[in-house]
């Protein structure tokens, strides 16, 4: 039987056989083989790589990451299983743990992908709800990526689970892990470039003095006290990974929340004022 292979992305080849998703990722000289997301080994030729996938055979030297079951069995003392509440069709919620503000959460992505979140962190995805519950109690990022690799291959174009946090989880994440402000002088960035960046964010004027658009830049009481509304389809106008993008992400995470809630979560009022000026965000009266 002839098996057809497609190339959804450059250097990556995919096929199906008996319900399994076969995947080959080509490097400079090696071809990495996967079956349903499980790594089978490496071959030197494409034909051999495809045949290994079709045969579903593992090579002699394949790294075995620690499974969730193994990590669970090694926990000491052995924890009691939590009571989980099904919130809706896709989400389950566990009990809030000491020194944590949000409950652990499991999101059903599809029948064989269960994304795990705890303490505003994405811990990975598991193949069953039971394993996902154990992963949340282990509270460590999974070493295995076969589940999420398979999900990404069968759901092209969808946001990965790591980006599907709730607004509350995003706000808590940025509260616990605020963006680190780089020191331009130490990084070898000219002061003029650093100043230009601050001016773009509304931090200083060209004369080097604090730039204030009314009192809204520094006084929470002067900001319109209402509900934040992010413009439908609006994207954050900052480079991903930058400190500015982090500040704007907090604002985007408070869509539908009040200005007061945004400020209490560490939201930057300068960022809010800039977003309103750019007509990306509005403040509606309660």
CA distance 173 to 136: 16
| Position 20 in a domain | yes
258 and 237 both lie in a single domain:
yes
110 and 183 both lie in a single domain:
no
Tell me if 262 sits within 8 A of 276, measured CB to CB: no
Angle between the N-to-C axes of helices 243-253 and 191-201, in degrees from 0 to 180, rounded to the nearest 10: 10
79 and 156 both lie in a single domain:
yes
Q: How many whole angstroms from its chain centre is CA 96? A: 21
| Position 171 in a domain | no
CA distance 210 to 199: 9
End residue of a domain, out of 146, 165, 184: 165
Each residue of 145-164: b (16+ CB within 10 Å) or e?
A: ebbbbbbbbbeeeeeebeee
140 and 215 both lie in a single domain:
no
Query: In terms of Cα–Cα distance, which of 270, 72, 261, 95 is closest to 172?
Result: 261
Average pLDDT of the chain, as a whole number: 78
197 and 230 both lie in a single domain:
yes
Place of tokens 């509606």: 284
For residue 217, pLDDT beyond 60: no
For residue 3, pLDDT beyond 90: no
For residue 7, pLDDT beyond 60: yes
pTM: 0.44
Query: In terms of Cα–Cα distance, which of 57, 39, 36 is closest to 112?
Result: 36
Arithmetic mean of pLDDT, 88-95: 95
Q: CA 215 → CA 178, 221, 251, 259, 276, distances in Å?
A: 24, 9, 19, 15, 14
| Position 131 in a domain | yes
For residue 212, pLDDT beyond 50: no
| Position 22 in a domain | yes
| Position 170 in a domain | no
State the pLDDT at residue 63: 59
180 and 272 both lie in a single domain:
yes
Per-residue pLDDT tens digits for 270-283: 888 888 888 888 88
136 and 41 both lie in a single domain:
no
Strand partners for 283: 228
End residue of a domain, out of 114, 141, 165: 165
Arithmetic mean of pLDDT, 253-261: 85
Sign of CA dihedral 109, 114, 117, 122: negative
187 and 278 both lie in a single domain:
yes
From the number of C-beta atoms within 10 Å of its C-beta (0-12, 13-18, 19+), residue 89 rates as: exposed
| Position 63 in a domain | no
Count of domains observed in the chain: 3
For residue 186, pLDDT beyond 60: no
236 and 200 both lie in a single domain:
yes
51 and 120 both lie in a single domain:
no
Angle between the N-to-C axes of helices 269-277 and 243-253, in degrees from 0 to 180, rounded to the nearest 10: 80
Query: In terms of Cα–Cα distance, which of 129, 137, 81, 84 is closest to 108?
Result: 129
| Position 99 in a domain | yes
56-65, 137-146, 252-261: range with highest mean pLDDT: 252-261
Query: How is the chain split among helix, strand and coil, in percent rounded to 5?
Result: 30, 20, 45
180 and 159 both lie in a single domain:
no
End residue of a domain, out of 108, 135, 165: 165
Per-residue pLDDT tens digits for 13-68: 889 888 888 988 876 567 888 888 778 888 888 999 999 999 999 887 665 667 89
Both structure tokens of 255: 């869509």
Q: Which range of residues forms the domain containing residue 16?
A: 6-55
| Position 128 in a domain | yes
186 and 281 both lie in a single domain:
yes
Element at 281 (helix H, strand E): strand 281-285
Tell me if 281 sits within 8 A of 231, measured CB to CB: yes
Place of tokens 């008996």: 18
For residue 200, pLDDT beyond 70: no
* pLDDT band, residue 84 (cuts 50/70/90): very high
Beta strands at 281-285 and 20-26: parallel, antiparallel or unpaired: unpaired
């Amino acid at each position: 039987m002839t098996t057809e292979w497609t190339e959804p992305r450059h250097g990556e080849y995919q096929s199906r056989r008996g319900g399994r998703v076969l995947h080959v990722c080509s490097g400079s000289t090696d071809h990495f083989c996967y079956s349903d997301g499980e790594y089978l080994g490496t071959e030197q030729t494409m034909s051999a790589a495809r045949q290994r996938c079709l045969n579903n055979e593992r090579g002699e030297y394949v790294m075995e990451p620690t499974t969730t079951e193994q990590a669970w069995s090694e926990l000491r003392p052995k924890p009691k299983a939590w009571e989980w509440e099904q919130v809706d069709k896709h989400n389950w919620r566990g009990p809030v743990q000491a020194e944590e503000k949000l409950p652990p959460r499991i999101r059903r992505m599809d029948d064989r992908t269960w994304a795990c979140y705890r303490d505003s962190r994405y811990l990975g995805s598991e193949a069953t709800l039971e394993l996902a519950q154990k992963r949340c109690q282990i509270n460590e990022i999974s070493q295995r990526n076969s589940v999420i690799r398979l999900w990404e291959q069968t759901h092209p174009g969808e946001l990965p689970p790591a980006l599907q946090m709730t607004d509350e989880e995003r706000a808590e994440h940025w509260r616990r892990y605020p963006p680190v402000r780089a020191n331009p002088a130490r990084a070898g960035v000219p002061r003029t470039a650093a100043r230009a960046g601050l001016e773009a964010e509304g931090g200083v004027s060209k004369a080097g003095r604090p730039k204030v658009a009314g009192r809204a830049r520094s006084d929470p009481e002067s900001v319109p006290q209402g509900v934040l509304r992010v413009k439908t389809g609006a994207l954050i106008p900052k480079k991903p990974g930058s400190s500015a993008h982090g500040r704007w992400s907090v604002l985007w995470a408070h869509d539908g929340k009040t200005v007061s809630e945004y400020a209490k979560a560490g939201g930057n009022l300068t960022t809010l004022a800039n977003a309103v000026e750019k007509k990306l965000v509005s403040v509606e009266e309660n």
